Amino acid sequence: MKTMENEMNDKQKGELARKVALITGAGSGIGRATALLFAREGAQVAVCDLNRDGAEATVAAIQAAGGQAIVVQANVALAADCERSVRETLAAFGRLDVLFNNAGITRRANVVDTSEADWDAVMAVNVKSIFLMSKYAVPVMAEQGGGSIINAGSGWGLVGGKDAVSYCAAKGAVVNMTRAMAVDHGPQQIRVNSVCPGDTDTAMLRNEAAQLGLAATALVEAGNARPLMRVGQAEEIAQVVLFLASDRASFVTGSAYVVDGGGLAGSA
């Protein structure tokens, strides 16, 4: 049992003091913002990304601020890479308390215009990766006595969207897979939740605009139609992920947290 002194020390070090987190897609966007926030809140962070340069930049920023982090370069659609990611995290930090399955891609097209290769790629990165990372993380967390898994869903995992059939299908799968995992692993004290952002000002959103033949800032500007009259910032999504990872969410599992500036609620 923790003493009062230990509890005070943990609070002083942050909400994730003495915890280890593995974050996929942490070389940019929401993943990077979450890695930086987790480190500020006391976590040791395994920064996982296919893009090694991006992962190294995230780690450098964490270390410059006095935090602890390692680079894990991996293709999260491959079982061997996912198993190695968990193994390297354990080798560096000795445990695994939080897994944020954040890696994702999008291909903007309807069902007729979506190629089989694009469909497979979206499913592999957005859905299969969660299955694989969790497959290797859950036994570790169970042996430790619990943990928290947060899966990156989307507002389009709850409603449909135009010219994004593969992405909508993938994120719908993520939301319901999250519920199933919560049911399966609750007895092991592993909480599993999804965070469902709306449009967020990241390179991915600008890439979506390019896929649709729009100006780079077109989807950012379209956020003006939301009740809060803007798109989100990566740091705002990270704050919700932090809550789900922390002990403040100790009785939260199987939930889909919408963080979209009111987009699903309706527009003015």
C-alpha closest to that of 196 among 141, 140, 244 = 244
Query: Helix or strand or coil: residue 47?
Result: strand
Contact 245, 211 (CB under 8 A): no
Is residue 167 annotated as part of the catalytic site, yes or no? yes
- Tokens standing for 19? 């915890």
Strand order in the sheet with 69-73: 69-73, 44-49, 20-24, 98-101, 147-152, 190-197, 256-259
Query: Token match 């780079």: residue?
Result: 216
List all residues 6 or more positions away from 98 whose beta carbon is below 8 Å from its beta carbon: 16, 19, 20, 21, 22, 38, 43, 147, 148, 149, 150, 245
Query: Helix or strand or coil: residue 85?
Result: helix
Q: Which of the residues 38, 136, 167, 257 is marked catalytic? A: 167
**Rounded CA gap, 23 and 195, in Å?**
14
Tell me how far CA of residue 126 lies from CA of 8, 63, 135, in angstroms: 39, 29, 15
Catalytic residues: 167
